[in-house]
Amino acid sequence: MIYTERDKLTVVETEKEIDHLDFDRITEALLERPSNMIYCESEGRLYGIVSMGDVMRACKDGLREAAVNRRFTKLSPGESMRAREIFRERETINALPVVGEGGGLLGDYTRWDNFAEPDDWTLRYGADFWDKRFWPAEPLLLVKPCGLFSWKTEKYAEWIKQLERHGIDYQTVERRDIKDCDEYVRLFFVDEDERRGMETLYLWIQKKRYTAFYSYSMFADNEVIKYMRDSYGVAETGGFLKRLQNIGVHSLILEAADYGGAYGKTLRQQIKKRGARWGHLPESAYDGFFDGMYTQADRKEIANIPVDQIHMKPAEGFLVLEDAESTYYHTKDGERLTVGQPEEYERTVWFYGPCLVIGFYAEDQYTMESFLQARLNESGSKVRVVNLGVTDNTLGMLNHISHTELKTGDVVVVYLPDAGDLEMERVNLYDAAERSGAPAEWFVDSIMHCNHRANEMFADAVCEKLASILSEPPRERAEISADDNFLVDAWLKQHFSDFHPAKHEKVGAIVMNCNPFTYGHRYLIEYASARVDRLIVFVVEEDKSLFSFGERFAMVRDGAADLANVRVVPSGDFILSQRTFPEYFLKIEDEDIVRNVEYDITLFAERIAPALHIASRFVGEEPEDAVTDEYNSAMKRILPAHGIDIVEVPRRKADGNYISATTVRKCLEANDLPALDALVPETTKRILFRKNE
C-alpha cells in the first residue's frame, strides 16, 4: 500500500458537479497522469470518482462517456490501518481517497506496492530469470513513467540497466506514442497504477489489441513471470507425469510442435498473410472463422472472450479461472463449463493448459472438452471431462494437478509446446490438423487459437488416443495424494540453485510472518545469526496477512540487510502455507490442527532441511497465541528426531511488555505514532508510511 499526495493524483476539476465524464476528457487526464482512478472535484470538494472499471463497463455498453460514481468509500487523515483492512476485505477496491474536514481531496491510498528489487527477482524465479531465452522473442516496449515520481524514474533506469546488461531486446516509448506502435508488442510499466490506466485507454477506449500489459509491481506479486516463461523443463514434466502413471493416473500430452512439415509452414504463412495478430481476430476474417454461424454482434462477443471475460487469479502456487457468467462463457470454482457432463461417472479426464484448453474463441458447447464429452457420452462411457485450463507456466500447471482430487483410473491431459523425446502418449496438433486438411480460416494467429471446427477436430484426435486407456477397467478407485517430493524439489531448484550449503559448517533457519517486522523479529535474527555460519530466514509467502507479502518481505530484507550471513527468501508453498497449515492464518484450533502442524514440520524436516543442510531452527517464545504455541510444541517433538536442534529464544520486551506485531498494529489503529519508536526499526517505518514521491 502506498500514499499519494493530491498534487500527484489524476484530478478533473469541473465548474459544477457532473454525472458523466466523456472519453476525450478521460483520455487527456490519463495521458497527463496515468492512473487507475480519476477524482472529480468542484469548488474544492471531492464529489465523485471514475475508476478504470467504470470506463470498461461504459465501453462494453457502447458509450463514449463514463458515469461519475458518487457513492464511494473515503477516509480521514490517519486512517492507514482502516485502508489496509478495506483492501484486504474488498478485492475490487484498489484506491481510497483521503479527504479533509471540508471535503477536499488530500491524497489517496492505493493497494499496490513496488518493493521487489532485481536481486529479488533472481531469488524468486531462479538464476535464469535474466536469461534472454526465457523472455519474449519480440522486443519489450518499456513505457517511460510519469516524471512527477522520482522512484518511478529510478526503477525505469534500473530496468534499462538490467535489460542491457543481459542482452534482452527492448525499446522505449512515451505514453502518448503508444498509439503508433505495432499491436504485436508487450508493453511494460514500472507501476501497476499507470499500467491499469494505459491498458484501459488503449485496449478499451482506443480499441487497440496489444499482446500484453505488464508492470513492475506484478513481478513483486509473482504474476508476470507465469505468463512470460516456463520455469520447469520437459524432462522434469515427463518425470512428474510418469510418477502419476505409476500410481494409476494416465497421462496424455497435447503437443503443438511442427517438425518442419510442409503443412505447418504453409498454414503459418497463410495466417500471417491474413494480417492476424496475437490474440486478435480481424472482423474481416469472421465469415470464414465462424463458418456462417452467429450474428455479427455475437461473433464480436465470442471473438473478444479472451480480453473481455477470461481472468486468472492466484491460488496456492498456481492460477485458476475466476468465476464468470455470460451468454457464451461460464466458469465456476476454476472450471470452465463442459457441456454434457454426466451426473454419474466412473472416472474423469482432466484438462490443463493455455488458450486451446480454455477454449478461446468458442462458446461453452464448442470447446474441445465439450466435443470430447459428447463423443464419450455417445459411446456409452461413464467418463466426466473437466476443463481446468489456464494461462500458467509449466510448474504452475503441475502444482495445479497436484492439488486436484485425482483418483486411480483418471486421465490427465496437459499441453506442452514441444514434448521432445518423452516416451508418452501424445496428440500432435499439427498432425491432427494436417490429417483433416484444416484450412487457415479455422485459426486466429496460431494453431493454439482456433474455432469450433478445429476444437472438434482436436477432440476427435484426443478421443482416439483415449480409446485404449478407457477400455481398460481402472484399478480400485482411490484418491491420489499430492506429489510433494516432486514439487518441493522444483521449489528448491527455483529458489536455491545458487546456494551451496556444504560451504557452511552450520546452517540455521527461521520462519517469520512479520506482520509487520518489529524489533522483536530483529532480535531473533541477530540472536540466531550469531550462532550459525549461515542463517536462512523464510518469510511466509502466503498473502493472508494485513501487510502484503511484498511489504513484509521488504521489511525483513531491509531490516536484516547489515547482517552479512543472513539470506532472506520467500517460504514458498511448503512452509507455513495455506496448503500445509491453514489454521495458522485463521488462528483457530480445529480438529485438524495437530495433523496439519505435524505435516508442515515433517515436510520441513524430511525434505527441506536436508537439502539445505539446516541443523538448527530458531523460534521466539509464544506467550499469547495458542495456535503458534501448538506449532512450537510440535517442532520440539518432531525436529530433534530428525537431527535438527530447536532453539527457543525469549521474546524481547519494551517498557516491560513483549514486543509483538499485534501491539504495533494497535498503535497504528490508534494513530499513536510516537509509541512505534520502541517497537519497530526505521526500515519498517519507511514502508509503513511510504509515500508516492
Q: Which DSSP string do the residues of 149-200 spell out, in sequence order?
A: -HHHHHHHHHHHHHHHHTT--EEEE-GGGGGGS-SS-EEEES-HHHHHHHHI
Angstrom distances, CA of residue 565 to CA of 502, 521, 535, 670: 15, 16, 6, 37
Residue written as grid cell 455417445 = 378
Q: Is residue 493 in a domain?
A: no
What's the CA gap between 534 and 212, in Å, rounded?
41
- Mark whether 478 and 511 lie in a shared domain: no
| Antiparallel, parallel or unpaired: β 657-658 and 653-654 | antiparallel
Point out the domain boundary residue: 75, 110, 145.
110
Residue 239 shares a structural domain with residue 381: yes
Domain match, 352 and 408 both: yes
Beta bridge partners of 67: 20
E strands in 382-453: 383-387, 411-416, 426-428
Q: What DSSP character marks residue 692?
A: -
102 CB-contact burial (10 Å; exposed 0-12 / middle 13-18 / buried 19+): exposed
Q: How many domains does the chain have?
A: 4
- Between helix 484-496 and helix 118-125 the angle, nearest 10°, is 150
Asked, for residue 611, whether it belongs to a domain, the answer is yes
Residue 170: per-residue pLDDT: 86
Q: Would you say residue 285 lies in a domain?
A: no
Q: 51: domain CATH number? A: 3.10.580.10
Of 110, 128, 143, the residue at which a domain comes to its end is 110
SS3 category, 99: strand
pLDDT of residue 133: 57
In a domain, 53, yes or no: yes
Query: Based on the domain organization, do 131 and 88 belong to the same domain?
Result: no
Query: Rounded distance, CA 96 to CA 87, Å?
Result: 9
For CA atoms 10, 16, 18, 23, the dihedral sign is negative
Task: Note the pLDDT of residue 221.
Answer: 41
3-state secondary structure of 333: coil
Torsion of CA 673, 155, 558, 315, to 10 degrees: 90
145 and 56: one domain? no
Query: What was the pLDDT predicted at 258?
Result: 81
Residue 494 near residue 231, CB atoms below 8 Å: yes
- Does residue 128 belong to any structural domain of this protein? yes
Residue 436 within a domain:
no
What does the pLDDT read at residue 450? 92
Burial of 669 (0-12, 13-18, 19+ CB in 10 A): middle
- Do 576 and 504 share a structural domain? yes
Q: Give the integer Cα–Cα distance in Å for 401 and 405.
A: 8
Instruction: Give a yes or no: residue 269 inside a domain.
Output: no
pLDDT value at residue 233: 66
Q: Looking at the structure, do residues 526 and 662 belong to the same domain, yes or no?
A: yes
Q: Which of 531, 616, 613, 631 is nearest to 577 (CA)?
A: 631
Q: Is 36 exposed, middle or buried (0-12, 13-18, 19+ CB in 10 A)?
A: buried
Are 74 and 126 in a shared domain?
A: no
Domain identity same for 101 and 147 = no
Distance (Å, rounded) from C-alpha 115 to C-alpha 556? 12
Give the whole-angstrom CA distance, residue 31 versus residue 8: 13
Domain residues for the domain of 592 are: 499-688
Please indicate, yes or no, whether residues 249 and 139 belong to a single structural domain of this protein: no
Segments of the chain scoring below 50 in pLDDT: 218-231, 307-309, 312, 314-315, 583-592
Q: What is the dihedral of CA 124, 126, 127, 129, to 10 degrees?
A: -80
Last residue of a domain, one of 54, 77, 110: 110
Residues 465 and 510 in one domain: no
Q: Is residue 91 part of a domain?
A: yes
- Same structural domain for residues 165 and 101? no
pTM: 0.73
